[in-house]
Structure 1
Amino acid sequence: MKYLVAGSTGLIGKNLINILSANNDVIALARRNYQFPKNVEQLILDYDKNYELPKADHLFICLGFPVELLDLVIMRQSVKKLFYKVDYDYVCNLADQAKLSGIENISVISSVGAHAKSLNYYLKTKGLMEQKLKNLNFKKLNIFQPSHLLGERDKPQGHDVKLFEDVTNFSGQFLFGPLKKFKNVAAEDIAELMAKKSSDSSNGINIYTRLDV
């Protein structure tokens, strides 16, 4: 199988690259040179310019603007434009280019609670992105809606994030049934789920949350 991974230097993308490259041909789409495994091909893209995607069996879109914790609740005006550019424009443009390249199957990272009519800017943008991709009629569209992601990031996290994770890791023990989808989840677990679901027979639109890990 031949896979393309956009957002390949991010928390989920890096894990996904490592999983997929063990037994598949993988092209990492990146904005800068990065030290990927030796058997991974690297394609440098400038998402602000015109580009074409190579033909592949599946495209994984793991792009996301690194918003701060408080922006998830009430996003600052200075952040909104940058966030929308990455999480809507870049993601939707990738999906459009995938269509033009004949790629029939894609997976995308969204968020738990995403909805096009949400009053929360973060969740509304994610919901609008999902809506756009659904309208492109891919053979398979896998939408992953993780909660807060756990894992080692390139940039150190602030004390507020560490405190948030400590509190929510504890409180998550008391979430049961459907509420379990809001529990923190390891980025590696989401990456493994993405890899697994990309090769199964579930065509059409599929939505996965932490409950599927």
Structure 2
Amino acid sequence: MGGKTALIVGATGLVGRELLSTLLSKDYYSKILILGRRSLEVKDNRIEEHLVSFDELENLKGQFSAQDYYCCIGTTMDQAKTKEAFYRVDFTYPMELAKLAQSDAQFKTFNLVSSYGASAESGLFYNSVKGQLEEALKELGLETLHIYQPSLLLGYRPHFRLWEEMAKLASSILSFFIIGSRLRFWAIKGSQVADAMYYVATSGETGVHIHKPLEMKKIAQKKEYQFDSSRSEVA
């Protein structure tokens, strides 16, 4: 065991579940803290679950400590129902988690699952909120911030999403005709994102970096991360 501690928020989602599986398959972390609203019912002596209210994250300072914080939380407008609720889940909660990490003396890296196309100036509400979050996190001045921007995510979801299933079908058909750099716009497995997150977070690389789909696929395939400015955007 490496004697390190990881903290995951959003472990019930597609990427979060895959990330937990990846971390459990490695010996790097001796403890994995899970903050969530319901139990995962995953049994492993390295897992330490804490049921919390995300609306009260700011009150948890000093209660948890980890080197690597992984933020995989997110929702959709269909699930959130209102823009206010969506903003709370996709902006407020991650920001509060980052502040929690910043107050932790053991903190080393903050790893955020964002979205390809995130931009505070976007006319799309989803992309705009994701972009606003990225900019706000950069302004916090975290020593190490890794932002992962997956495109269409492939993997099991408990909630059926018609538009995603249609997009997956289109992606599988059109992928035969897509070549070169345009591959970055197409689907990536949740497991590939999770693997990339692990290798990047444990690499010792500092600074603020944005990781695109094609780079994440390459990291997952090679099972290693070596910083390359041609593949990883320095924010």
TM-score, normalised on structure 2? 0.81
1:160 deviation in Å? 4.2
Alignment gaps of 5+ in structure 1: none
What is aligned with 1:211?
A: 214
Equivalent in 139, 151, 155 of residue 147 of structure 1: 151
Alignment of 1:1-213 (within 5 A): 1-22=4-25, 23=27, 24=29, 25-39=31-45, 40-49=47-56, 50-52=59-61, 54-68=64-78, 78-102=81-105, 103-155=107-159, 157-212=160-215, 213=217
Counterpart contact for 1:175–1:183, Cα < 8 Å: no
1:109 deviation in Å? 0.5
Greater RCO (Cα-Cα under 8 Å, separation 6 or more):
1
- Secondary structure of the residue aligned to 1:205 is strand
Counterpart contact for 2:114–2:147, Cα < 8 Å: yes
1:42 deviation in Å? 0.5
- Deviation string for 1:162-205 (max 9, x for gaps)? 22211122223333333222101110000000001011132101
1:27 deviation in Å? 0.9
Structure 1 residue runs of 4 or more that deviate by more than 4 Å after TM superposition: none
Per mean C-alpha deviation after superposition, the further-off stretch among 175-184 and 193-202 is: 175-184
1:20 deviation in Å? 0.9
1:37 deviation in Å? 3.2
Question: May I ask how many residue pairs the two structures share in their alignment?
Answer: 205
- Secondary structure of the residue aligned to 2:84 is helix
> Share of identical aligned residues, percent?
28
Counterpart contact for 2:77–2:83, Cα < 8 Å: no
Alignment gaps of 5+ in structure 2: 218-235
Q: Measured at CA, do residues 27 and 163 of structure 1 come closer, stay the same or move farther in structure 2, by a change above 3 Å? A: same
Counterpart contact for 1:172–1:184, Cα < 8 Å: no
Q: CA RMSD in A?
A: 1.9
Per mean C-alpha deviation after superposition, the further-off stretch among 101-110 and 139-148 is: 101-110
